[in-house]
Structures are given as structure tokens and as C-alpha cells.
Amino acid sequence: MALGEPQHAPPALALQPLKEKLNDYGRYPPIGGTPDWKAAVRSWLLRRFEVEDVLAEDVQILPLNGTREGLFLAAQIAPQKANGLMAMPDPFYQIYASAAVAAGAQPHYLAATQENGFVPALEDISADVLNRLRALYLCNPANPQGAVADKAYLEKALELAQHYGFILMVDECYAEIYDPDGAPPPSILQIMQDKNLADAPVLAFHSLSKRSNLPGLRSGFVAGGISAMCALSDLRQIAGPQCPLPAQAAAALAWDDDAHVADNRRLYAEKFDLAETVFADAYDFQRPAAGFFLWLNVGHGEAAALHLWREQGVRVLPGAYLAADEHAAHAAPYIRIALVANMTVMQAALQNLKTGLDDFSSARKGPAA
């Protein structure tokens, strides 16, 4: 339960090309994607986000060997500024910080707290920081908290990027894992479409790892404004590996199919139903709008994680391990729990986890007076 590796079955239709196209490993793939792959991704973007007109140029969608590659490489095309910063949410996916450092920028952390709905408060960023920003990373839906930034928030982020001259990079890898009874999370690409901004300073990243339970395929894509995508495409021509042809064939079939994704959401919803029954309102339990993690306030995340492993055989991730400051109040008291195993495993694991946390909490409080 510590690792966010999907355990649901990948769609069988996407696995077939990996068996049938072995000879294609003997060919160099086009770095911009095959025609079938590009058509499938464009069709999905139209179905899911109703985005089409502002992504008309061929270069505006590129395949990636997993979004991790793209999120790292994209920092290299960010505008140069003296004493440059790259901002990101905190807690965060560590690739954002490593990308900033590799690009010669200083990471600047924006606290995502319970008070701001686990979405960094853009209005709290100082003018000095904004002027020095080369890039702003956002994760929407958020990892680990599952919060979703609405379209108004994304619009504000884009306005800031335009005004202060930085690139807005939005990691949208959890966009397809949401409550079936809730609204689908929006994309920054929809803001581009709504405002007819084909050349917005925007990059959006998507992946099949979570959406289609294919983390081992290492297949995703990046889409965005013309200038940003031209710069990233030029860089990938000399510094980025092509995506293997069998992987692109498998990915095309996965992007073309929505039925397995709906089933995926249903399976996660059932596990969140179970978690809600087990925890109720204990440990500040909140059912997330998206993603597949629980983010529980247990008082001391690292100590709780160690207790759960020793006493219950359950592994979880301390919130401090996802934060810039391991003592930060918005991370250190928390643990992240990945609801990725099957329901049979989850039924036992969640109950054991609750029992272990109750024991841990009682021990911290000490004997009653």
C-alpha cells in the first residue's frame, strides 16, 4: 500500500500488439508518433476534454516513454531568468524538483494544506517569486491528496504564466481516476480551448500507467502550446528516446477504448466505499475527488508507518517522504495509502491498518488519567 502501482488487470486489447509486432523492434520509430497513435490520442482528447482546434498542429502532441521522462525533460525548455525558480506543490512528485535542479533552477515549494483544500494558493505567491519563475509545476488531480483544481484555478494559473513569462506544466496523470458519481477533473488544455490560445505557454502530461493499468508499458504523451511544443520537440530530437512501435500500437488501442477505464473507476470507487466504512471520520479521513490514495492525518506519519509495518505487516508511505521539509505540518503528520490491490486484499489490509492506527494512537496518548 506504499507504492502507487496499479494492480487491476490491463486491457487485453492493448496487450495483443506487444505479442504480434515483435518484428517492429527491429525498426526505428518516428519520434513524433505513428499515424495510428496520433489519431487515437487526438480522438481521446476530443472525447474527454472537447479539445481539438487549439491542438491542430502536428507538433502539439508528442509521445513519451512515460510522463516521468517528459516532466523532467520539459524543464530544459523553460525561459531563462536570473536567480530562476521553478515552483511546485508540496507534498510533490520528486521528479519536479530534480527537473528544476537539472535545469539550473531552484525549486520553490507551494504548500498544499488542508486549509487551502490541498491545492496551492496562487494568490499567496509573491511578486518577487512570480518574476523569477521559469516554470510552475501543478499536479491535477493532486498526488497524494486527490484534490482537483477547477477550471477557474487553472485559468488563473495560465494568466499568471502569460503575465510573468513562465511555462505552466500540468501533470494530469490521475485525470481518469475519479469518483464515477462526481465531475471529471478538468484539463489545462480546456482552458486553452475555451480561450482559443493555440500558443499558450502550457504543457499537459498524460499517461496510460494509471488510466489503463499499464505502468510497465512506459507510455504517455505531452500536449500544449505551439511554441512550447516546438521547443520540446526540438530537444527530444537530440535528447529523447523514441517510443517503440509495439508500445505505440498498444497505446493507440488503449487510448481508443474507454470501457476499461470506466471499469477501472468502478473498482476504485468500491475500495473507497470500503475505506469510508472502515475509517468514517477517523484520522481526518476525506474521500478524495480523484486518484487512488488515502491521505490520513495520524499525528506522526513516519512513526505510524513503522508501527504498521512491525505490528500489522502493512506498508504505507510517510507523508514526510513526499515533502521538501520532513517536519512540515502539512506532511509530517500524514501517511499515504495506495488503494491499488484487489478487493479481497484491501478488505483485510484496511481493517488491519485501522486496528494498527488505533493502537498507535492510543500508545501516543498514553494511559488514561
DSSP 67-114: HHHHHHHHGGGSPP-TT-EEEEEES--THHHHHHHHTT-EEEEEE--T
List, by residue range, all CATH 3.90.1150.10 domains of the chain. 260-361
Please report where in the chains the cell 513526499 appears, as a residue.
322
Give which of 355, 12, 67, 58 is closest to 230, Cα–Cα.
Answer: 58
299 φ/ψ sector (left φ>0, alpha ψ -120 to 50, else beta): left
Residue 363, pLDDT score: 87
Mean pLDDT across the chain: 96
Residue 369, pLDDT score: 36
Distance of CA 113 to the CA centre of its chain: 17
Q: Kindly tell me if the per-residue pLDDT of 356 is higher than 50.
A: yes
CA dist 3 and 108 (Å) reads: 26
CA dist 114 and 146 (Å) reads: 12
Average pLDDT over residues 9-22: 93
Q: Kindly tell me if the per-residue pLDDT of 368 is higher than 70.
A: no
Residue 366, pLDDT score: 61
The answer to whether the CB of 298 falls within 8 A of the CB of 332 is: no
Taking every pair of Cα atoms in the chain, the longest distance, rounded to a whole number of angstroms, is 74
The answer to whether the CB of 205 falls within 8 A of the CB of 187 is: no
Which CATH number is 260-361 given? 3.90.1150.10
CA dihedral 222, 226, 228, 231 (to 10 degrees): 100
Average pLDDT over residues 144-163: 98
Residue 364, pLDDT score: 82
Lowest mean pLDDT among 9-23, 103-117, 161-175, 218-232: 9-23
CA dist 230 and 106 (Å) reads: 25
Average pLDDT over residues 67-81: 97
Tens digit of pLDDT for each residue in 235-283? Answer: 999 998 999 999 999 999 999 999 999 999 999 999 999 999 999 999 9
The answer to whether the CB of 184 falls within 8 A of the CB of 178 is: yes
CA dist 354 and 294 (Å) reads: 12
Lowest mean pLDDT among 174-188, 235-249, 355-369: 355-369
Lowest mean pLDDT among 166-170, 201-205, 263-267, 360-364: 360-364
290 φ/ψ sector (left φ>0, alpha ψ -120 to 50, else beta): beta
Q: Kindly tell me if the per-residue pLDDT of 78 is higher than 70.
A: yes
The answer to whether the CB of 254 falls within 8 A of the CB of 214 is: yes
Q: Kindly tell me if the per-residue pLDDT of 367 is higher than 80.
A: no
Average pLDDT over residues 184-197: 98
CA dist 170 and 222 (Å) reads: 10
Residue 365, pLDDT score: 76
**Taking the chain, what is the end-to-end CA distance rounded to the nearest angstrom?**
36
Q: What secondary structure letter does DSSP report for 296? A: E
Average pLDDT over residues 10-35: 93
Q: What secondary structure letter does DSSP report for 22? A: G
List, by residue range, all CATH 3.40.640.10 domains of the chain. 12-257
Tell whether the torsion through CA atoms of 9, 13, 15 and 16 is positive or negative: positive
- E strand or H helix at 14, and its extent? helix 12-20
Query: 12-257 sits in which CATH class?
Result: alpha beta
Tens digit of pLDDT for each residue in 43-63? Answer: 999 999 999 999 999 999 999
